[in-house]
Structure 1
């Protein structure tokens, strides 16, 4: 605590300045009581702690009870400067202040001494000098006033001490509350840290669950896609089965109708028999004798039936043996066969001009084996006499116009079986434009009109399924190419036609084409889809001989690889099904008027001529064994090199038009087919190996 007392409420700063006379009296009383001078400059204002009390202003007439005549007669003397210590205005505070002398000539000027804190002692000394003029009554009053001021000051000091104790208690409570708040804040921060850690753990778990959920969704989608593909394949198989079931139901319905007709006829016969029995009662004896003869004849008839059954079994065995021997003979001859098929007349040809729809004189003399075809031509000579020419040709099989697709494929099915056994098989259709090659190979939209390609593929899948029980597993893949203007195009490639350059590679009896799309096949329905896609992209154009003439050679290749897990044996077979573009003359087709059609026709005829050269060279090689085979003269012959060189079983299907207007083209095709049929090739080799 400071040694200075607080300034009382009745100090001059609060109650106004005291008269100089009263201050002098107070100083005098303090000296008399032995207290010493009251240092007002050290007292602090109660309302403003730490403030310093100002020294009293100089004594003037207006602020004291001294008469003016006594005030202006004296003038304070300036004390001499001492070395004891600085006082007010450089004077020593220990030197006595001399009494003032009265002025004689004029009153003292109204001047005030500067009020400074350092001049408080100088003011008190001056009051003491002037206190002699104050009376005893006034001094007594001043004493009482001073006691009252001190009592009031003591009460105020007590109240201030009490207020300070209360404030200290409040500060202590606030400190305790602040400590509690700090502890709660620490607990809250700890809880918040724990919550954030829990939130981070939960966020990690949520992200892991989301990733797991995403993976499960992706797996489910892949499984769903796979199941959808299986469902589509099963639906296709179901449609095929339903079509077979409808055919069987139609057959059963026709059989039921025949049975009903036979039942009606039987009832009629029984009625007639009953009438005859009633009418023939008188000839019963003769009937008994006839019964004896009938029994004998019945016994003989039964013997004849048994003999006929035995002969039929022998005939079937002989037919099977004949086919095997025939197949062996064909392989020894070079393993190349030729079939000839004459297409029927189209309805559009019947409704066109009568001269253009006139039929050629084509006959089929061989009614048993169906291996011969004959053509008769009538013409006038230069002399006006009639001339009749007859040409006869023989092939491995000849199909008349009414022959169905199923009958044609029945003869080809054995070649499809050879492909499963590991042989390379090539079947190609040859003939002029509009002779039915595309219909023979690809067929129509119905099951009855399906061509050789879908039927062969279906048979391959059927045989592969039957051999599965014997340990064989087969994988199949297909590709579809066309040769247009001596350029190979991939009919299954992306875009209209890919810009890649395809090259033909031959390696150990197999033929490959670079950079082509090869599609794995699981069912015959996929093959039908590929045929539809390739057919829509194949190059066709309209000519005078055919509204949709194929302007390119198409080649469908089915590759088969089989593995037997029991015998560790493998086999690889290839089935090439070729639809050649039609040979045609420029004058008859009208291609000479269009430069694009002209170029296409020239390339088609060039490739077919190259094929004829290869066939001719093969025939000459079989005689001298030194003839060079010009396979590289055309992309077509180079692609079919292994099919024509004896490494595969080859079948040529010659297609002919029945119209007389096409007789010249038909004769050219027949002569070429005869040359092919007479060509001798090597024996086909089976592509098989044993897995070590």
Structure 2
């Protein structure tokens, strides 16, 4: 220090040097540290440089992936935009659906209210109807009881009707004679002229008239003789204006007797051209006679009778009746089967013979019978036979039948007889068929005064008292006789002349038979002709006979008309015993 009390410069310098040395040492230490750190940093830099070399490829890959992600993001963005648009549209649709649903809900509520009101109305109506139904059921029960009583009374009255009907027919006569006067026709002007030539000619005066329903008046006006009026009485007389319906109305009651167990025969008698075939069959065409239900107003007795028979059968229990048909003609005193068939199935006439059975009845062995189920089948079958019927033109009639036609319907009735107590069947195979027949024929039985029905499940041993099936046959014979004619007027020669001779002889034999029956002779000459032999059971046997006289009103046929009227008069004089019915058991009649 300086004496003056101040700091010496040297000391200051030393202190400064010391400070600087300290700083130098500190800097050196710092340099060492920094060098150390620098070395470390160089190491790390070398390490990082190695790492950077490795990651360059990864960075490139990451850049590629990033580019792809960017592309994907761009495409995704477009899809999102589309989806967003679709979502917006769906939102709009949903809003519309919501509005529609609200409207539909309002309508549904309105309809529910309306339906509920209707249901309530219907329920009330049903309640009223139920009350009315209960009332109706009570009335129906009363009506059923009344109906049962009426049915019982009906069955009783039905039996009385059958008895009264057949008694009435018998009181009228088992042989009834009707007369039909045909209208004047163009060929009545003069023989030898055709119908076409005579259409413009003046028709002649009528000499046969009807005065009432039972009387025929004939004016017998011959040159040089006084006018004589002759009258003939018959059961029924038809004028020229009366139709086929009117004629059949008087025939139909006989068919009821047919199903009541009686045989019936209806025959047409008269000269050629007097309308027999028209009355029995219907209108004739130019070539043949054809039958058809479509021509109903003009149908004759044969097709109408068949329709009526099937109508009556339809009112009976199903399967209790069936019908068989035979068609024969008597030509030149020979019987021909018009339904016989050859080996090829063609219909052709086969000669048959008539015999007398042990019971004294006429029969034609090997005669063809065809089963029919309705009137249409019958007409078709008879048409086939009519095609074979012999015809020949004469001056009197252009389609003169040269044979007697006999159409026979055989009705078989399945009845029940209580005289047997055997079981109905003995094996399972036959039992359904036989039990069906029993049900069709006699469907109900009485047990302890109550109505009971047999059981299909019952065993044969349970039928201790069983009724036996029995077949009853009745016949309806429909006869269209060949016309009697004067040889001089008809102008026939050769074969036709021979035919005329046989026709007249057979009709004369028929007249002789009726005369013998009327005079009650011990011998009736049925076998003098095949016709009378064939019709033996109808003329003098067990049948109700209706003779339909057909006459012409024309002056030139006066002799033939008088002959026909005389035949009818003789037929009315025939007195036969009471016609017997084919016995039907009581159980059958009660149906």
Counterpart residue number, 1:663:
558
Counterpart residue number, 2:328:
481
* C-alpha deviation, 1:361, in angstroms: 2.4
Counterpart residue number, 1:379:
222
Counterpart residue number, 1:361:
207
Q: Deviations over 1:300-320 (max 9, x none)?
A: xxxxxxxxxxxxxxxxxxxxx
User: Is contact 2:338–2:349 with CA below 8 Å preserved after alignment?
Assistant: no
Q: Distance in 1 between matches of 2:198 and 2:338?
A: 35
Match of 1:433, SS state, is coil
* C-alpha deviation, 1:436, in angstroms: 0.6
Q: Distance in 2 between matches of 1:324 and 1:548?
A: 43
Counterpart residue number, 1:652:
547
Q: Deviations over 1:348-381 (max 9, x none)?
A: 5576288894132222222xxx111101132332
Q: Distance in 2 between matches of 1:552 and 1:487?
A: 10
Matched, 1:512 2:325: no
Counterpart residue number, 1:457:
306
User: Is contact 1:472–1:562 with CA below 8 Å preserved after alignment?
Assistant: no
* C-alpha deviation, 1:645, in angstroms: 1.4
Counterpart residue number, 1:607:
506
Give the gaps of 5 or more residues in structure 2.
1-159, 190-196, 284-291, 416-440, 446-466
Q: Distance in 1 between matches of 2:232 and 2:553?
A: 16
Counterpart among 579, 582, 585 of residue 480 in structure 2 = 579
Instruction: Give the number of aligned pairs.
Output: 357
Counterpart residue number, 1:339:
178
* C-alpha deviation, 1:511, in angstroms: 4.1
Match of 1:575, SS state, is strand
Q: Which has the higher contact order (CA 8 A, sep 6+)?
A: 2
Counterpart residue number, 2:518:
619
Match of 2:396, SS state, is coil
Q: Distance in 2 between matches of 1:457 and 1:435?
A: 23
Q: Distance in 2 between matches of 1:479 and 1:337?
A: 24
User: Is contact 2:362–2:533 with CA below 8 Å preserved after alignment?
Assistant: no
Residues 393 and 660 from structure 1, CA distance in 2 versus in 1: closer, same or farther, beyond 3 angstroms?
Answer: same
Per mean C-alpha deviation after superposition, the further-off stretch among 540-549 and 564-573 is 564-573
Counterpart among 400, 413, 416 of residue 255 in structure 2 = 416
Q: Distance in 2 between matches of 1:348 and 1:661?
A: 11
* C-alpha deviation, 1:504, in angstroms: 3.3
| TM-score calculated relative to the size of structure 2 | 0.57
Q: Distance in 2 between matches of 1:455 and 1:610?
A: 30
| TM-score calculated relative to the size of structure 1 | 0.49
* C-alpha deviation, 1:535, in angstroms: 1.6
Q: Distance in 1 between matches of 2:226 and 2:200?
A: 23
Matched, 1:676 2:523: no
Counterpart among 406, 427, 434 of residue 245 in structure 2 = 406
Counterpart among 188, 198, 201 of residue 352 in structure 1 = 198
* C-alpha deviation, 1:417, in angstroms: 1.3
Counterpart among 593, 598, 603 of residue 497 in structure 2 = 598
Counterpart among 391, 394, 398 of residue 230 in structure 2 = 391
Residues 327 and 631 from structure 1, CA distance in 2 versus in 1: closer, same or farther, beyond 3 angstroms?
Answer: same
Counterpart among 618, 628, 637 of residue 523 in structure 2 = 628
* C-alpha deviation, 1:402, in angstroms: 1.0
**Considering only CA atoms, is the larger Rg found in Structure 1 or Structure 2?**
1
RMSD (Å) for aligned C-alpha atoms: 2.7
